[in-house]
Amino acid sequence: MNIPVFKFDAVIVGAGGSGLRSAIQLSEAGLKTAVLSKVFPTRSHTVAAQGGVAASLGNSDADHWHWHMYDTVKGSDWLGDQDAIEYMCRKAVEAVVDLEHYGMPFDRTENGKIYQRPFGGHMSNFGEKPVRRSCAAADRTGHAMLHAMYQRNVKANTQFFVEWMALDLIRDSEGVVVGVTALEMETGQVVIFHSRAVIFATGGSGRIFASSTNAFINTGDGLGMAARAGIPLEDMEFWQFHPTGVAGAGVLITEGVRGEGGVLRNSDHERFMERYAPNAKDLASRDVVSRAMTTEIKEGRGCGPNKDYVLLDITHLEPATIMKRLPGIREISMQFAGVDPIKEPIPVVPTCHYQMGGIPTNYAGHVVAPDASGRQAIIPGFYAAGECACASVHGANRLGTNSLLDLLVFGKSAGDSAVADVKAEAAHRDLPANAADYSLARLNAINTQKDGVSVFEARQAIARTMQDHAGVFRFADLLKKGVTQILEVEKQVRRLEIKDKSQIWNTARVEALETENLIEVAKASMISAEARKESRGAHVRDDAPDTPEFPNGRNDKEWLKHTLWYREGNRIAYKPVQMTPLTVDTIALKTRSY
């Protein structure tokens, strides 16, 4: 088959924050740059990030990047790589100033400086007292950021391929990445993008869980492509959850609802948090509340026909208080839970929010994986940044507002690395023969499958299996069963069938392709979680409790290491955590408590 070849210096997959930030570096360096995106760039999920971006500008309070670094290491429960964390925190100020120059409308102080707000976990003087460090543009930080960077890219002549889906990485016989295959939705045409640098900026994969705050677009396409190309995925057991997402829908109900007096109840109408946290009750920290909710559901005291959620009750509050103090909550409850919270409690479950793991990179944005001798080696031609990448700055748990910082800093560093590498090479390397065959075979299997499994069924099976076996609070027996079950689900995904065989705008086919990416993320997450026999950060196991020997269940002797999951044989390997920062002393291991 004759497959068109488009030749670029660099191809970026994903047009959210990290993709757009990388593209600016490449296009402004004069390289011919393509950005592929499933949607128009300013519709990427970065829009949903409202909290702001952390940077120690010191505009509102005295601040220092070293304090920010300390908070990030502590937040990560010491699983973050300290070289990458130092790099990110030191570069934060520059990242914000760059955005300012791109026209980002940050909130201002009276004297015209960027206004900074407080955020959970941001402290001054190595954990001493709260500091205002988050820079925001009202509640539209992500949205404003995308617009500023998109405009900058238009000016720099970045070429956008909108409503295209990348299919697979192309590697030559030496393993060098030389391009990607992609599908244009409007025509159904498969194209080879032949390129000297490929940057993945595909975002998170939170749709593997039944309850997720992630938009539908977050199907882990970059992770699926990397895994199929033999590249391991790092620390995929670590997922950040929010305690109160609307059951079934995933839409977030803010913490403020409990702050205003909302209480959680089980099927016996009991205010169960009184048992788990007699003092803080419903205002206990996120992980404590999530764990209590999971325990109630697991022990059969969940609500609803499947007994799989609990209730967030504000019916005892005055309607006037609800309208005044919790604007928007009534509307969200009515639209997404189908209940008026003035009259009925809201069904909620702990809900997946952010993926800490991803494609392993160093702080320069190069993708790295062990070579034949076990040394961490750069995969030439391949870069990743943002939520799809694991640098690793978030380790076992992300500090709030570091996600936008991550995509700015590593988007830029990945772009800069790609510019340097492209300029050092004289020409494109040759494409391997039949470079699109693998992708075409995948498409053909989907197109010709008979008596197969529908995309809907397969997605349900993935999401249910992940939610029931590897949720916010984990149990050894469930994880074991989960591994068996997700491998069964994989067999269903191998037999996806679509009825629509058309070429033009065949969204059923695209959804099938997304599902093939979701299953790789799901396997990586379940298998990595089952293997890690400690509690750390967002990975909390019932059989690794808080003891004097292992505070919070964390076992540094055995588990201070990153997980690497390989698709082939579902093999797990480990690599050490980088404990040595670039210029400062190691932030020594300590028990994480707030």
Q: Which stretch binds another protein (CB under 8 A): 52-60, 450-458, 487-495, 569-577?
A: 450-458
Q: Which residues of 175-196 are buried (b: 16+ CB within 10 A; e: fewer)?
A: bebbbbbbbbbeeeebbbbbbb
Interacting residue with another protein among 390, 508, 513, 544 (CB under 8 A): 508
Binding residues for another protein restricted to 363-382, rule: CB under 8 A: none
The burial of 86, by beta-carbon neighbours within 10 Å (0-12 exposed, 13-18 middle, 19 or more buried), is given as: buried
Write down the catalytic residue from 286, 536, 541, 592.
Answer: 286
Q: Is 140 a catalytic residue?
A: no
Are the C-beta atoms of residues 449 and 220 closer than 8 Å to each other?
Answer: no
Give the x/- contact pattern for another protein in 551-580, rule: CB under 8 A.
------------------------------
Binding residues for another protein restricted to 167-186, rule: CB under 8 A: 185-186
- For the bound state, the minimum distance from the C-beta of residue 179 to another protein, rounded and expressed in Å, comes to 23
Q: Rounded to whole angstroms, how far apart are CA atoms 548 and 102?
A: 51
Q: Which residues pair with 453 in a beta bridge?
A: 496
Interacting residue with another protein among 505, 551, 570, 572 (CB under 8 A): 505
Give the x/- contact pattern for another protein in 337-356, rule: CB under 8 A.
xxx-------x---------
| C-alpha pair distances (Å), 252 with each of 50, 134, 241, 246, 590 | 13, 21, 11, 6, 32
Q: Rounded to whole angstroms, how far apart are CA atoms 411 and 368?
A: 16
- For the bound state, the minimum distance from the C-beta of residue 420 to another protein, rounded and expressed in Å, comes to 32
Q: Strands, DSSP E only, in 452-585?
A: 561-566, 571-576
Decide: is 300 part of the binding site for another protein (CB under 8 A).
no
**Helix, strand, coil percent values for the chain (each to nearest 5):** 40, 25, 40
C-alpha closest to that of 181 among 173, 273, 171, 464 = 171
For every residue of 275-300, DSSP letters joined together read HH-TTTGGGS-HHHHHHHHHHHHHTT
Using the structure block, give the residue that is written with the tokens 């005295």.
62
450 alpha carbon, distance to own chain's centre: 34
CA atoms within 13 A on the CB side of 311: 20
Decide: is 40 part of the binding site for another protein (CB under 8 A).
yes
Interacting residue with another protein among 7, 28, 32, 43 (CB under 8 A): 43
Residue 191 identity (one-letter amino acid): V
Measured on CA atoms in the order 310, 315, 321, 326, is the torsion positive or negative? positive
- For the bound state, the minimum distance from the C-beta of residue 341 to another protein, rounded and expressed in Å, comes to 12
Decide: is 213 part of the binding site for another protein (CB under 8 A).
yes
Decide: is 210 part of the binding site for another protein (CB under 8 A).
yes
Decide: is 154 part of the binding site for another protein (CB under 8 A).
no
Q: Which stretch binds another protein (CB under 8 A): 70-78, 175-183, 293-301, 495-503?
A: 495-503
Q: Please count the residues of this chain forming the interface with another protein, following the rule CB under 8 A.
A: 60
Give the x/- contact pattern for another protein in 105-144, rule: CB under 8 A.
-----------------------------------x--x-
End-to-end, the C-alpha distance of the chain in Å comes to: 60
Decide: is 528 part of the binding site for another protein (CB under 8 A).
no
Decide: is 460 part of the binding site for another protein (CB under 8 A).
yes
Of 15 and 236, which CB lies nearer to another protein in the complex structure? Answer: 15
Query: CB neighbours of 92 closer than 8 A, spacing ≥ 6?
Result: 53, 54, 55, 56, 65, 68, 405, 409
- For the bound state, the minimum distance from the C-beta of residue 221 to another protein, rounded and expressed in Å, comes to 12
Interacting residue with another protein among 4, 5, 48, 448 (CB under 8 A): 48
Q: Which stretch binds another protein (CB under 8 A): 5-13, 226-234, 254-262, 331-339?
A: 331-339
Q: Which stretch binds another protein (CB under 8 A): 57-65, 192-200, 415-423, 507-515?
A: 507-515
DSSP code for 212: B
What are the residue numbers of the active site?
A: 286
Q: Which residues bind another protein (CB under 8 A)?
A: 38-40, 42-48, 140, 143, 162-163, 185-186, 207, 210, 212-217, 246-251, 327-328, 331-332, 334-339, 347, 454-456, 459-460, 463-464, 497-500, 502, 504-508, 510-511
